[in-house]
Chains A and B, each alone.
Chain A
Amino acid sequence: MKEKNRGLGLFTLLIYLFLLGPLVIIAIASFEPGGALKFPPTGFSLKWYQNIFEVSMFKTSFITSILVSLAGNLLALLLGLPAAYALSRFQFKGKNALNAIFISPILIPGIVLGFTMLKYVIITYNLPVYTALLLGHTVIMLPFIIRVIASSLANFDFAVEEASLSLGAGRLKTFFTVVLPNIKSGIIAAVLIAFLESFNNVDISVFMTGPGISTFPIQMLLYVENNFDPTIAAISVLLMLFTAVLMFLIERLMGLSYFTKR
């Protein structure tokens, strides 16, 4: 028994090493004072962190990314919440087809989707860059919103809604006073997952960005194409911190266990 546990411990350690090792290496390498990314670093310097804030495109693209992700999230939630509710509660003709359409953005390669949207939507209707980005990111987020909320609804006993109806609440009232509070954790999880998906997206965004306007990951990509300095490592560390702070806030607000418990 003890033998077995030691083996399991070693295995767990290796997995952690595999998952966290690269992150640790990047974090350490970001303090390299020289002009090229090196591990182990030859000294200690924060100048590449300073450099992030000196490249103005990082700042503008970060704001663009946040705005597009937030606005797209809101839009995807407004579309996805009723859709998820309808798909999980009602039987109607063409339900399977509709379900497949909503999920399809995950199944179709991003490059194909991005290119198709560019050629047949953005160019055809001559959409401005921000509108195009918003549209693209809503499409990216919609499947995640619908999937996560639908699974949350599937765990919610339909009889509870019927109980509310029988006690005198209308359908809309029931949705807001009974359904919504009980799928709150599902909605928050959906919003967060969709946000990360949208914030990190490159393959679709690349078709939507235009002159002077790009999203953060695309700006990072452009930067590493031309520069070999540790700025990119410094950005990665900040992004990790950003995510950690986000998770910490959620933990403080409602507890991470909120997502795992039934």
Chain B
Amino acid sequence: MAMLTLENIAVAYDQQYILKDFNLSVEKGSLISLLGPSGCGKTTTLRLIAGFLEAKDGRFTLNGKDYTRVPVNKRNFGFVFQSYALFPHLSVYDNVAFGLRLRKVSKADIDRRVRKMLEVANLTGFEQRFPKELSGGQRQRVAIARALVIEPDLLLFDEPLSNLDANLRVNMRVEIRRIQQELGITTVYVSHDQEECFSISDQVAIMNKGIIEQLDAPSTIFKYPKTEFVARFIGFNNFISFDNRQENGREIQLQAGGHSFLAIQGEGRGAQKGLKGAVRPDDLKLGTSDEIDLGANVVTGRVKVSTFLGRSYQYVVNTELGEFTVNKEMEQPYVSGQEVRVLFPVEKLILVE
């Protein structure tokens, strides 16, 4: 059952639409990430859900209740900011207790809940510290504890880890996932870090120019992007434009500049629509004329650039159908200008729109 729904939402600054006819639905208890380049509207979407921005048009409901016009301080959502946004003049304890005091919870209850939450966030012993006396990771945990202690109906994260160093970031995202699953709170998470979103989420929405290009489980997006934008965003940087396509059961026959290609419809890969083929550099096969026979899904070309990547070599191969980037593990690298053949494995050739 969808719990959070955005229907035909529009947001505009000075007549300039950031979001238009925007739709999204999130299952109860799941964590959804909004991922995309800066300016794609992910933060706007999050701030709209939080209530910091007002929709010009459309409807936002949560558990069947219409929140479109509810002011931010009446929403009971937890928001975790990129800059942590702790209250500098309050101790850790008072920061976490802030929301409960506003809710007129009894003193004893506040104490019990704050201490419990500090324990969950691994902050016991830091009650009397002030934000400026804490490390970045500790501050972020206080911010999360502060957002969670009010038992929010929805938890929102705005790039919560981008101010932390790399090691801490990995630990914190595991932590966030653990707490979120333990408490079963529906969560919307915004980031521009792909790995972060993919590792933490039940669902990822890839956004571009104010629309969702694809909303799927992380592994589905990773394997089967639906649009060229998504494919490029997650590292498919080889594309072929086909002239026509013909479906024959599970098989899809394609033509490009006199070469014939084959792709398949299959379990989990959704509808393979579109006339553009996408393949990752790791998934292309590269070989000499002895190793790869001419036939479907094979193009001949010459090595243009060769780069040593450590474990493998990366080649840019110039062919009749354009340039392709291929990674290959090998002892003796190909030299520039050498004739090679590029094979597009049927399983790995993904059609995108």
A residues with CB within 8 A of B: 157, 159-160, 162-171, 173, 178, 181-182
Contacts and interface: CB of A to CB of B under 8 A. Distances in A.
16 contacts: A157-B85, A159-B81, A159-B83, A160-B86, A162-B52, A162-B72, A163-B79, A163-B86, A164-B87, A165-B51, A165-B52, A165-B72, A166-B50, A166-B77, A168-B74, A181-B89
Interface in B66-111: 72-79, 81-83, 85-89, 98-99, 102-103
B146 interface: yes
Return the 8 tightest CB-CB contacts between A and B, nearest first: A167-B99, A159-B85, A163-B85, A166-B79, A168-B102, A181-B89, A159-B81, A160-B85
B299 interface: no
A164 B50 CA distance: 12
A162 B147 CA distance: 12
Contacts of B85: 157, 159-160, 162-163
Given A162-B79, A163-B79, A163-B81, A168 B86 contact: no
A168 B83 contact: no
B72 A166 contact: yes
Nearest to A171: B73
Contact of A167 (B51, B52, B88, B98): B98
A73 to B, nearest CB: 24
B81 A167 contact: no
A178 B87 CA distance: 7
B89 A167 contact: no
Contacts, number: 62
B150 interface: yes
A166 B88 contact: no
Contacts of B98: 164, 167, 169
Given A166-B73, A182-B89, A157 B146 contact: no
A169 B52 CA distance: 13
A169 B71 CA distance: 11
B83 A157 contact: yes
A164 B85 CA distance: 9
- A interface: dominant SS: helix
A168 B51 CA distance: 12
Contacts of B82: 159
A182 B86 CA distance: 12
A231 to B, nearest CB: 47
Nearest to A168: B102
Given A162-B52, A163-B81, A169 B88 contact: no
Most B Cβ at <10 Å: residue of A164, A165, A167, A173: A167
A160 B102 contact: no
Most B Cβ at <10 Å: residue of A162, A170, A171, A173: A162
Contacts of A162: 52, 72, 79, 81, 85
B145 to A, nearest CB: 12
A169 B90 CA distance: 15
A178 B78 CA distance: 18
A142 to B, nearest CB: 27
Given A163-B146, A178-B87, 12 more contacts: A159-B83, A160-B87, A162-B81, A163-B79, A163-B81, A163-B87, A166-B51, A166-B77, A168-B76, A169-B73, A171-B73, A182-B89
A163 B84 CA distance: 9
B305 to A, nearest CB: 45
B150 A167 contact: yes
Nearest to A167: B99
Contacts of A168: 73-74, 76, 99, 102-103, 150
Given A159-B81, A159-B85, A162-B79, A167 B102 contact: yes
Contacts of A166: 50-51, 72-73, 75, 77-79, 147
A166 B80 CA distance: 10
Nearest to B95: A163
A157 B81 CA distance: 11
Nearest to B75: A166
Contacts of B102: 167-169, 173
A154 to B, nearest CB: 15
A167 B72 CA distance: 9
Most B Cβ at <10 Å: residue of A162, A164, A168, A178: A168
